[in-house]
């Protein structure tokens, strides 16, 4: 009896031993499940980190472009003409000082300031451009809010060029698509100077070599369009005040009723800007060929959406990271009249 008990333990003894530990097989299975769960967790964390880093990198890549766009849109919204009513003669000319033979014939809008948009306003311009006056209080290299209401000539356009504001001894100045801001100090204001007729109040500076009062506001801006409109609805085919992005408040008045855009600000301006990031710009090494011509891509306002689709397709085809900025900017001082 004792010998049998030695080789064959009682059943209650075996059950007790089973409760005190795990078999090797059970431990291996548990370890495998734990490792699998850790791998899945690590994969999830890594995927989340990659997405966060990618989105953060994109946000940083376009941060300067976004800041430039917001600054530009705020400034455009402050454009002014200070329009008033004046007499015109039968030839639709206003009185010149000292002209005693002037005979008033008709009453119409008049302004000594100017607002102009178009695709060929300055030399080397790539795409749209806009030039106007606004009370920016900029003079002699500083902004002095205390003076209040000092006018400046302001403009925005894109050129494929080096940074003209850098000193000549800096050799690392790559050729890029750049959004330039034209900012003429109050003491240099030429818009009311008869010695600078037409667009010369800004072309005399912007087309100088090197350009004067022109500063790069953002780099790698590959497309730019400015569209004056009647409303803030995104419908350029019906609301546009121009068929080819050209609007000029100094348009000639030959006969008949005064042209609607003469000495009159548009109620709304649509601004579209397409930027690529620095990594994409470095990859194409300053090449100007993007699959479309930035200077002519925006030619008809009715094709604005089609043009943007073309730009998106061409940049995607070249694996260039890009972002489209768009805003409908109400002009605060506009008092639009169809008459």
Domain ranges of the chain: 1-61, 66-330
pTM: 0.80
CA proximity to 253, closest of 264, 267, 245, 239: 264
Q: What is the pLDDT of residues 6-49, one digit of tens each?
A: 445 555 555 555 555 678 887 888 888 888 888 888 888 777 76
Q: What is the pLDDT of residues 223-281, one digit of tens each?
A: 999 999 998 777 776 789 999 999 999 999 988 999 999 999 999 999 999 999 988 88
Q: What is the pLDDT of residues 220-235, one digit of tens each?
A: 999 999 999 998 777 7
- Contacts by residues 229-233 (CB-CB < 8 Å, ≥ 24 positions apart): 229/266, 229/267, 229/268, 229/269, 229/270, 229/328, 230/266, 230/267, 230/268, 230/336, 231/267, 231/268, 232/268, 232/328, 232/330, 233/328
The pair of structure tokens assigned to 142 is 């500083």
The pair of structure tokens assigned to 49 is 């980190």
């Amino acid at each position: 009896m004792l010998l049998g008990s030695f080789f064959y333990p009682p059943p209650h003894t075996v059950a007790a031993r089973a409760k005190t530990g795990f078999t090797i097989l059970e431990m291996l299975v548990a370890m495998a499940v734990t490792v699998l769960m850790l791998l899945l967790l690590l994969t999830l964390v890594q995927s989340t980190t990659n997405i966060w880093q990618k989105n953060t990198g994109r946000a940083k890549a376009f941060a300067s472009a976004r800041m430039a766009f917001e600054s530009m849109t705020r400034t455009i919204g402050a454009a002014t003409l200070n329009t008033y009513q004046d007499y015109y003669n039968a030839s639709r000319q206003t009185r010149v000082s000292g002209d005693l033979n002037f005979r008033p014939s008709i009453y119409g809008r008049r302004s000594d300031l100017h607002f102009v948009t178009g695709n060929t306003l300055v030399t080397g311009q790539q795409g749209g451009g806009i030039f106007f006056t606004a009370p920016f209080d900029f003079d002699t290299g500083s902004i002095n809010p205390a003076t209040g209401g000092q006018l400046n000539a302001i403009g925005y356009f894109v050129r494929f060029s080096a940074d003209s504001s850098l000193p000549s001894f800096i050799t690392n100045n790559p050729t890029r698509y750049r959004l330039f801001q034209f900012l003429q100090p109050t003491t240099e204001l030429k818009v009311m100077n008869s010695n600078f007729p037409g667009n010369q109040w800004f072309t005399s500076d912007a087309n100088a070599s090197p350009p004067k009062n022109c500063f790069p506001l953002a780099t790698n801006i590959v497309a730019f369009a400015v569209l004056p409109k009647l409303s803030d609805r995104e419908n350029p085919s019906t609301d546009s005040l121009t068929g080819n992005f050209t609007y000029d408040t100094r348009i000639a008045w030959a006969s008949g009723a005064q042209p609607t855009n003469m000495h009159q600000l548009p109620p709304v301006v649509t601004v579209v800007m397409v930027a690529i990031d620095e990594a994409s710009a470095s990859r194409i090494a300053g090449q100007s060929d993007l699959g479309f011509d930035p200077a002519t891509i925006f030619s008809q306002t009715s094709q604005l959406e089609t043009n943007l689709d073309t730009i998106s397709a061409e940049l995607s085809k070249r694996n260039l990271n890009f972002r489209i900025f768009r805003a409908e900017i109400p002009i605060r001082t506009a008092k639009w009249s169809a008459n």
